[in-house]
Structure 1
C-alpha cells in the first residue's frame, strides 16, 4: 500500500519515476501471485525477486541511502529454496535501518559454497525509541527455519550501536531439511 501511495504522489512530480515504480511493483506482484504458493522454487527466482524488491526500495529512497547487493555470478539451477525465505531480513533492514536524518545503509550479500547458502544482511542501526514495540518478525523467521531446516541452519543476529547484522547459513543438503 505504501508503494501505491508513493506512485500516486510521484505521478505529478516525476512521471518517469512513477512508471519505473509501477514496473518494479508489477514484478513483485507477479512473483507473489505465481511463485509464493509453491513449496520450493529455484534459488535464482528468489534472488530475482529480492533484486526487484531492492530496486523498488532504491526508487523509494534518496541517493543518500547506501543500498548494496552482492550476489553470486551464477546460481546452480539445482538449488531449490522455499519462497520468500530471505525477504523478512531485507524488509526489516529497510524498515529499521533507514533514517532520513542520518546516514543510512542496507547491505545484502548472498554466496553459495557447495551445498551451503550464506546470506548476510547489514543495516545502519538507528536507536528505536523506548515507546516503539519490538516486532515478532524475527521470532517467526526462526520458527519457520526450524520447521524447514531442523538443525541444518545457523542464524546469528547481532547488534551494535552502529549496525544491525543477520548472518544466515543454510545447509541445503542437510539431513534435517523438510521441504
Structure 2
C-alpha cells in the first residue's frame, strides 16, 4: 500500500528503514506514549523490530517527501474486541522534532480515506489518558469518545487509556 499526500508518502516498511526508525525507537517520550517502553538502546533492537514490521504489512512508514526521511509510523490492526471485518484499530507515533506541524493529522486523514475506499466502516483510535496531544489530535479528526480502558504494557506498567471510534 502506498498513500501520497501533499507533504507525505505512507508506505510499507523496508529493511532499509531501520537506520532512520532508530531515532523514533530511542525516543523515550514517544515509546512510553505507545506502550513500547523502555526505548531501545541498541540498533540491533530496531533492526529486529523493522524486520517484523516489513513482514507484518500492517505498519506504514510516514516519509516526509521534501527530504525523503522517515518521520514516524501508523499501524492499522484488525479489530481486537469484536473481531469485525469492517473495523480496524489505528495507532501512530512521530519523531519528536516533527511533532506540532500537522504531519500526523495529514497522515491519519489519508489513511482513513484509504480505509473507507476499502469498505472499512469503523476505526478505533486509543491513547493513554496522560497523552493529551494525541487525545486532541484524535478528537480534532472527528473520532468520538467511547470509553476508558486499561492498556497492559508488557514491559512497563498498566496505562489508563481513552478509546475513540469513528464511523467512515
TM-score (norm 2): 0.31
* Higher relative contact order (Cα pairs below 8 Å, separated by 6+ residues): 2
TM-score (norm 1): 0.30
